[in-house]
Amino acid sequence: MSDTPVIGFIGVGLMGHGMAKNILEGGYPLVIKGNRNRAPVEDLVARGATEVQTPREMAEQCDIIHLCLSNSPLIEAVMGGEDGILAGAREGLIVVDTSTADPTSTARLAQALGEKCAHMVDAPLGRTPKEAEEGTLDAMVGAEDAVFAKVLPVIACWAGNINHVGGVGAGHKMKLLMNMIAMSYAALYAEATVLGAKVGISPQTVQKVIGSSRLGNGFFDTFMEYTVGRNKDAHKFTITNASKDVRYANAMAAEAGALSLIGAATRQYFTHVEAIGHGEDYVPWLSDHVGRLNGVDLEDEVRKGS
């Protein structure tokens, strides 16, 4: 690897665009592979990035490749095949998977890279596209110590809170724990707010009392920014992605032989919203779906509480 490594980035969408932009601003040469949405690709090219057509081309040109994709099947597709990263991987290549992925898949891909004398790092994200643009995301990193030292300056371009949580795969496991907690919070906040409305406590009162107590937190604030403030962009994380994360967490629990009653119950809410065709809704909108299941129009309850 040169003194200034060439960085590749696949998945320059809602989160990836800001991350890639901050890598460029950190002084690193950047190679990207776009998708159907051309706007973020063209913006990054205008800022100095180079575009390639295949993951294999990227692997042949880059020292460190970032992935920011929706799920493990997509990651495996980008890694495999005659035009995949593995086909172009050379000794010393590092793949940093910032997606929220299945740790079992991560282990398989790490082994495949190891056979090429290349390395896998899992560095899933916390926070939102706003922090991605600002370069202040959370990162929980799974990597060997020596490899972590090599990628740390690059991760520091897009993350403000970086935790090295263990070896390869530990990052994805930690992220599943985090998202199981977060999505269980979402289900609980929705249930409690709707129950409050049914017994005469307005959503505004729930927001004020809980938000100013020891139970308040940043996730509660953004959840209620939609539920009460009706800001649809308060937390741009889709039900589909949340549902996938909770499924992966439940699968991890099953593989470990661990009891996961709350995680299993949380999964049902997200599976339900996907099943009725609203998977592209954002997570805080879950409150409206729970409201409808209980015969409550939360938007109307907010108006009445004003």
pTM for this model (two decimals): 0.92
Residue 35 confidence (pLDDT)? 78
Residues labelled as active-site residues? 175
| The pLDDT of residue 2 | 54
Query: What's the rounded Cα separation, in Å, for the pair 122 and 99?
Result: 8
How far apart CA 176 and CA 243 sit, in angstroms, is 11
Cα 139 to Cα 20: distance, rounded to the nearest angstrom: 15
Q: Which residues contact 258 (CB under 8 A, 6 or more apart)?
A: none
Q: Do domains 7-166 and 173-305 have the same CATH topology?
A: no
CATH architecture of the domain covering 7-166: 3-Layer(aba) Sandwich (3.40)
CA distance 121 to 170: 10
Domain map of the chain by residue range?
A: 7-166, 173-305
- The values of phi and psi at residue 188, to 5°, are -70, -45
Distance between first and last Cα of the chain? 60
Query: What pLDDT tens digit does each residue of the chain (306 aa) get?
Result: 458 999 999 999 989 999 999 999 999 999 999 877 889 999 999 999 999 999 999 999 999 999 999 999 999 999 998 999 999 999 999 999 999 999 999 999 999 999 999 999 999 999 989 999 999 999 999 999 999 999 999 999 999 999 999 999 999 999 999 999 999 999 999 999 999 999 999 999 999 999 999 999 999 999 999 999 999 999 999 999 999 999 999 999 999 999 999 999 999 999 999 999 999 999 999 999 999 999 999 999 999 988
**For the domain bounded by 173-305, which CATH number is listed?**
1.10.1040.10
